[in-house]
């Protein structure tokens, strides 16, 4: 019994250290670390998270393979994030992962497991994808994210298994 409790405690500690605690704490923390040099200073009155103001110079990192996630919503969001990597590169992430895990833009959330456990990241990525399909520029999308328009995104439309209705909605938009 004692050995099982120790194993459980180690598993929980690894999960918390990996991404759970950083995300939860990141939404409440104060001082800004990891602010991108191309982003506004953390001292600005709005305290904008890190992002890249200019398009990328060169190749971008891959997003994680959507198939590695068991949930349809996460699979769909990672799939659409992969389609708009240059746009996500230029967006801030309001879960404040820039402070807690050193991310420099919304794209970083989908290059690791963070985006799989964070509804803020998922909503912002879905918003960026939707707005890209409507012809908006990364700067216009960023202005919408900064205004909080991502909060209106309904993630339930991404709940169908890939190949289902949600996948059709993702590819059709």
Taking only the tens place, the pLDDT of each residue in 108-164 is 999 999 999 999 999 999 999 999 999 999 999 999 999 999 999 999 999 998 875
pLDDT tens digits along 40-96: 444 455 689 999 999 999 999 999 999 999 999 999 999 999 999 999 999 999 889
Highest mean pLDDT among 6-10, 30-34, 95-99: 95-99
- Tell me the C-alpha distance between 34 and 46, whole Å: 16
99-106 average pLDDT score: 89
- Tell me the C-alpha distance between 3 and 44, whole Å: 50
Look at residue 152 in the predicted model and tell me its pLDDT: 97
- Tell me the C-alpha distance between 39 and 153, whole Å: 25
Look at residue 46 in the predicted model and tell me its pLDDT: 66
Look at residue 97 in the predicted model and tell me its pLDDT: 87
Look at residue 2 in the predicted model and tell me its pLDDT: 61
Look at residue 101 in the predicted model and tell me its pLDDT: 87
Residue 22 banded pLDDT, cuts 50, 70, 90: very low
116 or 6, which is more confident: 116
Q: Biggest alpha carbon distance in the chain?
A: 59
Q: Which DSSP letter does residue 118 get?
A: -
Please tell me the pTM assigned to this model: 0.70
In a 13 Å sphere around the CA of 70, the CA atoms on its Cβ side amount to 0
CA–CA distances in Å: residue 20 to residues 1, 80, 118, 123, 166: 26, 23, 9, 18, 27
Look at residue 7 in the predicted model and tell me its pLDDT: 52
């Amino acid at each position: 019994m004692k050995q099982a409790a120790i194993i459980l405690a180690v598993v929980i500690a690894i999960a918390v250290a990996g991404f759970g605690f950083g995300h939860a704490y990141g939404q409440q923390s104060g001082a800004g670390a990891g602010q991108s040099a191309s982003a506004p200073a953390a001292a600005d009155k709005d305290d904008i998270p890190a992002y890249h103001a200019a398009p990328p110079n060169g190749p971008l990192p891959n997003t994680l393979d959507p198939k590695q996630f068991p949930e349809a919503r996460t699979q769909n969001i990672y799939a659409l994030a992969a389609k708009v990597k240059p746009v996500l590169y230029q967006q801030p992430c309001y879960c404040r992962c820039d402070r807690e895990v050193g991310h420099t833009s919304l794209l970083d959330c989908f290059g690791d497991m963070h985006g799989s456990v964070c509804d803020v990241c998922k909503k912002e990525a879905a918003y960026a994808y939707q707005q890209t399909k409507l012809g908006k520029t990364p700067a216009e999308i960023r202005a919408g994210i900064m205004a909080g328009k991502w909060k209106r995104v309904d993630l339930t439309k991404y709940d169908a298994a890939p190949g289902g209705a949600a996948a059709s909605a993702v590819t059709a938009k």
